[in-house]
Amino acid sequence: MTSTGEYYQRDRMRHPPPRDEGYKTSVTRSPNYPLISLENSVSDVTGPVFGHGDVDPLDRDLLRNYARPGESPIGERIIVHGRVLDENARPVPGTLVEIWQANAGGRYRHKKDTYLAPIDPNFGGCGRTLTDVDGYYYFRTVKPGAYPWRNGINDWRPAHIHVSVFGRAWVQRLITQMYFEGDPLIATCPIVNTVRDKAAIGQLIAPLDRQASVPLDSLAYRFDIVLRGRRSTLFENRLEGN
Amino acid sequence: MTQPLDYLKETPSQTAGPYVHIGLAPGAAGFDIYDRELGHDIAGPNAAGERIRVEGIVMDGTGSPVKDVLLEAWQANAAGVHAHPESPGTVEDGFRGWGRVITDFATGEWGFDTVKPGPVAGRNGTMQAPHIGLWLVARGINLGLHTRLYFDDEVEANAADPVLNLIEWEGRRATLIARRGARDGQPVYRFDITLQGGEETVFFDI
């Protein structure tokens, strides 16, 4: 019998509920039945492993990874950086972080986005990187613009960057969105407000990080990501954990 | 005053939104940016076992296909070993066990090619029937949904599976069983997922 340290149960009161009438699409895409809770097995505490063969160093630089030679995208040049930690405040090294976003005008390079703001010929809008041994990651990009969406007829998403993280285990898989400090659209966004807990919303808002800005080049925002932590199997084989 | 507990809190989830493909499957969004998109090949060329295709559709609470879902799969190889240091054993060179697919924008159909996984150890000395973990994100889904795909030709193993047996409502277990068929002599398993309503697929909090 394998003795695995389990991951802490996900606090679903901090996450958004499946159904939120303010976010209309969730109404028909949310299960009616409660989830079945499982104790972790090896199927859950394992997960895909990525390596440097999977990503190119340029993939983290959205200022260059889709720009024509000698050109760069239009917009506010920023660095987005931070650490991926678990709930025990331990770094999560070597994990894949993927981001995607609209351009400075709020337009996505996606065939289904028909917003009238133009595509930027030098901006793709996606990036990926692996965290280093300290769980640290960074991207260079432009600050995305707000954009309208068909929910209420005058609903606008705050500027945001979508973030996907794997962690070490299938149970840690997480997709979220990062918002920018001071954006007045955060307070009125139905998607932000699917999160009921104000403190939890605060965890999605990246502060301006003047210390990490590059003078005469880029401002920086700091976004730390916390994945589920893991219990020690005390009095058994001590595996990774708190 | 007691001492504070100093645990951090998990970052709250947000929906992947309608343009998830840009970040995670840019080719499907209509542009090529990476030399190598991740998640195309779950098993690799060297994996032992039966080559299978898995296909399906995701339906919402109105019975309409959801055409902007992104699915990820996580599975063991044919010997029941995951490509991860905590799985006992080793996997074939090139076997990743993880895949990522999107639904067709026009039809909502999704599918992937892999090998049929072997049984995996469960908790407390049990064995789990062969299964593939699936994780779904899309616009309107606030927190990724976990489910499992089992195989209808594994009747005995499914009957003894500790996870299926946790589902008290026996009638709901069938929502996790993929149906075997064939196309051009190759095995194809059909696995339709219903997000909401009568035949709602079982989803897990893992």
Q: How confident is the model at residue B1 (pLDDT cuts 50, 70, 90)?
A: confident
Q: What is the pLDDT of residue A238?
A: 45
Q: How confident is the model at residue A239 (pLDDT cuts 50, 70, 90)?
A: very low
Q: Is residue A1 over pLDDT 50?
A: no
For residue A124, the chain B residue with the least C-alpha distance is B33
Give me the total of CB pairs closer than 8 Å, taking one residue from chain A and one from chain B.
Answer: 266
Q: CB B30 to CB A12 under 8 A?
A: no
- What are the CA-CA distances from residue B78 to residues A197, B95, B116, B171, B205 (Å)? 44, 10, 6, 29, 26
Complex ipTM value: 0.96
- What are the CA-CA distances from residue B158 to residues A22, B53, B154 (Å)? 40, 20, 6
A43-81 pLDDT, tens digit per residue, is 999 999 999 999 999 999 999 999 999 999 999 999 999
Distance CA B73, CA A32 (A): 23
The single residue listed with the structure tokens 């709020």 is A106
Q: How confident is the model at residue A242 (pLDDT cuts 50, 70, 90)?
A: low
Q: How confident is the model at residue A3 (pLDDT cuts 50, 70, 90)?
A: very low
Those of residues 72-111 in A touching chain B at CB distance below 8 A are 85-89, 96, 98-101, 108-111
| pTM of the predicted protein model | 0.95
What is the distance in angstroms between the Cα of B138 and the nearest Cα belonging to chain A?
Answer: 9
Q: Does residue A236 or residue B136 have the better pLDDT?
A: B136
First CA to last CA across chain B, in angstroms?
34
Q: What is the pLDDT of residue A233?
A: 66
For residue A29, the chain B residue with the least C-alpha distance is B60
Comparing CA positions, the residue from A221, A209, A173 lying closest to residue B144 is: A173
Look up residue B159 and give its amino acid: A
Tokens matching residue B73: 């799969």
- A-chain CB neighbours of B12 within 8 Å are 14-16, 176, 195, 197, 200-201, 203-204
DSSP secondary structure string for all residues of B158-199: HHT-TTGGG-S-HHHHGGGEEEEEEETTEEEEE--EESSSTT
Q: How confident is the model at residue A116 (pLDDT cuts 50, 70, 90)?
A: very high
Q: CB A1 to CB B20 under 8 A?
A: no
Q: How confident is the model at residue A196 (pLDDT cuts 50, 70, 90)?
A: very high
- A82 φ/ψ angles, rounded to the nearest 5 degrees: 170, -165
Q: What is the dihedral of CA B127, B130, B133, B134, to 10 degrees?
A: -150
Q: What is the pLDDT of residue B198?
A: 82
Would you name the residues of A annotated as active-site residues? Answer: 108, 147, 157, 160, 162
Range of lowest pLDDT (A60-69, A82-91, A109-118): A109-118
Distance CA B27, CA B35 (A): 10
Secondary structure E strands in chain B? 51-59, 70-75, 98-102, 109-115, 120-121, 127-128, 131-137, 145-151, 177-183, 186-190, 193-194, 204-205
Q: Does residue A175 or residue A112 have the better pLDDT?
A: A175
Those of residues 2-21 in B touching chain A at CB distance below 8 A are 6-21
Q: CB B120 to CB A191 under 8 A?
A: no
